[in-house]
Chains A and B, each alone.
Chain A
């Protein structure tokens, strides 16, 4: 990639600078008409009861949660593309989406409040299953992906069968598309650990760089490939399962955000990882702000694809034209 180190660092710094601005802007927007000044004074301890409820109890936890979810999905997506050596690497590849769906549907069937917990638990169980099968079949990245596809198809067939027996399909479809519409402080505290784990992943950037090489090369450079791969996969599963438990299956961010950032800062994870995190966070926050701005909500997964695809297509073509 042609961009200089200065360009790469400036991009990361620009994203760091943009983060608080986008969080502040998102707090200004919502279906309830609250003047700019009132939002500011509410944030600093003023405001009347109703604006305190709307800004501090509803908007603030939701804005932060959406940012963290994007931050985590950007991280997990970048890691997945490195560990699977595949541009179609996606945090959901490990069977996390099918596992979480199964958990969520079972939650919808027995007790609604168990949906996040069961989505998390089943995401982890199924990703362990996918990983074990992939390892039993040789443990190469392609094998892991194929194992994820096979197990995913199996689990999804069970999920669809269970869904057919549920009378209220709207709610489940909405969950599949992802939504932060019921997020308040408790959900924020659930998703918070994924922020810290994601930040911690910056320290693994050298591993990620090496994992993208051929296994023999990586080993000759001193990396225990199998151990590194296992650890990275465990973190991808943990980060993604937490996000899915809170927001449902939000697509696109984990797959495309790393690509967009790679077009700007190149393939070195030293820059790519922090860029993808911050850009993922800002991107999902913007998408969720659009999703909740009207009088009724739009599933955020639809917005991420609608906003992200044109941007991605543009960057793709431009990078080709530039050579």
Chain B
């Protein structure tokens, strides 16, 4: 070991700090400005990655249903050349796949075809958290790829802004965000000061699975002035009927794909549960609850209207599902 005196160490630290600050200043301030001046587009995605495009993208590929919904909502639908097999909204996207103007590049992660994406010659790809290996390959191929992984509404707004910048649909993005904010304000103004309702969300009927505190649904439930009865757990926990009875939810929210119908719950579950006794069992389309895109605020509105029925003059969301929907269209 070299024996350094204290002075040398301090000087060393100061030098390193100055160099680091200079690099940081260049990377986060000078470089972006330089590139902005040159017409380049620089964005920082949800994974903290800086993505640079030389010009506005004219051909984009979406690797998640929520990304597809964002792109179509901001008016960039005509630029979408590739989607996943799960991208079933809006109808224009489905129509595009049908008439061949949009290609399907795969499912979620391992079954995404890089070759197919490359053949579409995209200017940018919109990926999602969990597609790490795909993103790395696209980076190696020098295809600009942004990764979305929003945890709250502000992050969704940010993702929409990024999508607007990349596709040159900044105004469209602003419009979508302001509409979303209006819906959120509408909900918040109606449920403010109401006592929170205890909510049980059924993610899956057998075994019974629900959403924990780190899920988007938990976040939406609290925004709608509800209290997820399993917010003391995380992820997608399996729960027992006994703990549901013991925690006694005021409202139960099902999805069309959870395997249980309103009738199943009302007929087979104990009347000791307030929600069952009062018939407060609702079905909300899971797409608007789990996809972090523009429609997420409809999910918020649907939850709020269901759990606080007296707070709203009229119900704008009503999904009557009498028969269980198939989990997957064969």
A110 within 8 A of B: yes
> Do residues B236 and A170 form an inter-chain contact, with CB atoms below 8 A?
yes
Known: A30-B242, A49-B272, A109-B330. A174 touches B204 (CB 8 A): yes
Binds A, one of B49-57, B206-214, B220-228: B206-214
Interface size class of A (residues with CB under 8 A): 35 or more
User: Complex: how many Å from CA A53 to CA B328?
Assistant: 35
A181 within 8 A of B: yes
Nearest neighbor of A30 in chain B, beta-carbon distance: B242
> Do residues B238 and A296 form an inter-chain contact, with CB atoms below 8 A?
yes
A269 to chain B, nearest CB (A): 35
Nearest neighbor of B232 in chain A, beta-carbon distance: A295
> Do residues B241 and A58 form an inter-chain contact, with CB atoms below 8 A?
yes
> Do residues A111 and B324 form an inter-chain contact, with CB atoms below 8 A?
yes
Which residue of B86, B233, B242, B330 is within 8 Å of A59 (Cβ)? Answer: B242
> Do residues B207 and A171 form an inter-chain contact, with CB atoms below 8 A?
yes
A190 within 8 A of B: no
Which residue of B237, B268, B327 is within 8 Å of A168 (Cβ)? Answer: B327
1/0 per residue, CB under 8 A from A, across B218-258: the answer is: 00000000000010110011111111011000000000010
> Do residues A164 and B111 form an inter-chain contact, with CB atoms below 8 A?
yes
> Do residues B238 and A179 form an inter-chain contact, with CB atoms below 8 A?
yes
Across-interface contacts of B209 in A (CB, < 8 A): 170-171, 174
Nearest neighbor of A31 in chain B, beta-carbon distance: B243
B205 within 8 A of A: yes
Which residue of B107, B232, B268 is within 8 Å of A184 (Cβ)? Answer: B268
B172 to chain A, nearest CB (A): 29
> Do residues A297 and B245 form an inter-chain contact, with CB atoms below 8 A?
no
Number of residues on chain B facing chain A (CB within 8 A) = 34
> Do residues B257 and A182 form an inter-chain contact, with CB atoms below 8 A?
no
> Do residues A297 and B327 form an inter-chain contact, with CB atoms below 8 A?
no
Across-interface contacts of A168 in B (CB, < 8 A): 203-204, 257, 327
Most buried by B among A108, A112, A184: A112
A310 to chain B, nearest CB (A): 24
> Do residues A170 and B272 form an inter-chain contact, with CB atoms below 8 A?
no
B102 within 8 A of A: no
> Do residues B245 and A112 form an inter-chain contact, with CB atoms below 8 A?
no
> Do residues B243 and A53 form an inter-chain contact, with CB atoms below 8 A?
no
A50 within 8 A of B: yes
Known: A165-B328, A175-B207, A182-B207. A112 touches B241 (CB 8 A): no
B23 to chain A, nearest CB (A): 43
User: Complex: how many Å from CA A313 to CA B256?
Assistant: 46
User: Complex: how many Å from CA A168 to CA B324?
Assistant: 15
User: Complex: how many Å from CA A109 to CA B107?
Assistant: 17
> Do residues B270 and A170 form an inter-chain contact, with CB atoms below 8 A?
no
> Do residues A295 and B233 form an inter-chain contact, with CB atoms below 8 A?
yes
User: Complex: how many Å from CA A83 to CA B230?
Assistant: 47
A302 to chain B, nearest CB (A): 11
A54 within 8 A of B: yes
User: Complex: how many Å from CA A271 to CA B175?
Assistant: 77
A261 to chain B, nearest CB (A): 29
B75 within 8 A of A: no
| CB within 8 Å of A: which B244-281 residues | 245-246, 257, 259-260, 268, 270, 272
A and B contact pairs by CB, cutoff 8 A, 7 listed: A49-B272, A50-B245, A54-B246, A109-B328, A171-B259, A174-B207, A181-B208
Taking beta carbons and an 8 Å cutoff, which residues of B are in contact with A? 86, 107, 111, 203-209, 230, 232-233, 236-243, 245-246, 257, 259-260, 268, 270, 272, 324, 326-328, 330
Top 7 A-B pairs, shortest CB-CB distance: A112-B259, A32-B246, A171-B204, A296-B237, A31-B243, A297-B238, A181-B207
